Amino acid sequence: MKIVFILMAFAILLMIITFIRDNKIESKSLLVSICLLFAVSIIGIFCRDENLEIALLIFIIGYTFLGIATYLIYSCVSCNKKIKATFIGVNKYTNATGKSLNFPIYKYEFLGINYEEQSLQDIRSKVLNNYVIGEEYEIYINPKKPKLCIANKKFRITDFFMFIVGFIFTSMSIILIIDYLL
């Protein structure tokens, strides 16, 4: 189990270094969350009790799910300004199950400033096949942080499922840690 915590700490440390080096920290809460996960990973490395190790691992998994789901739901709520944007391409990623995720890239102007940003949401390949590079599409941006954009304002059931699983895991781990400490 120690190797899992070592790998997590190393991966999170690389994320922190990359975010700070590339100045990609969008919010202080994101940096605090990543640092919290790093600290929990370090505690897991030096932990000598198997029950506490399991509780810490459950916390990391739950907190990660909860954080991602919260961010995705927040994006749908905060990106409420509809604008026209030019579709300029797509970034494709493969998830752990081998499914292809498509994140469209848009070019747009807001309050006299030009942006070229990737959507926070992936879109299905079936929908992406209808996109034409250079054509304009309606997207939603966060007027307070215009770099944040999404292709549509639909909530996904997977976001809510991830939130519930993350909440349950995080709550369960906190209960296990409190029980361990008492």
- Give the largest CA-CA distance in the chain: 61
- Alpha carbon separation from 103 to 78, 84, 121 (Å, rounded): 18, 17, 6
CA dist 161 and 154 (Å) reads 15
95, 101 in Cβ contact below 8 A? Answer: yes
φ/ψ bin of 40: left (φ > 0), alpha (ψ from -120 to 50), beta (otherwise)? alpha
Interstrand relation of 136-142 and 113-118 (parallel, antiparallel or unpaired): unpaired
Q: Is residue 48 classed as helix, strand or coil in its secondary structure?
A: coil
Kindly give the confidence (pLDDT) of every residue in the chain, 182 residues in length, as a single tens digit, with 9 standing for 90 and above: 788 888 888 888 887 777 676 666 666 777 788 888 899 999 999 988 999 999 999 999 999 999 888 888 888 888 999 999 999 999 888 877 878 888 999 999 999 999 999 998 888 888 888 899 999 999 999 999 898 899 888 778 888 999 999 999 999 999 999 998 88
Domains of the chain, each with CATH number or no CATH: 2-76+158-181 (no CATH), 81-152 (2.40.50)
């691992």: which residue's tokens?
A: 57
E strands, 21-151, are 81-94, 100-110, 113-118, 136-142, 145-150
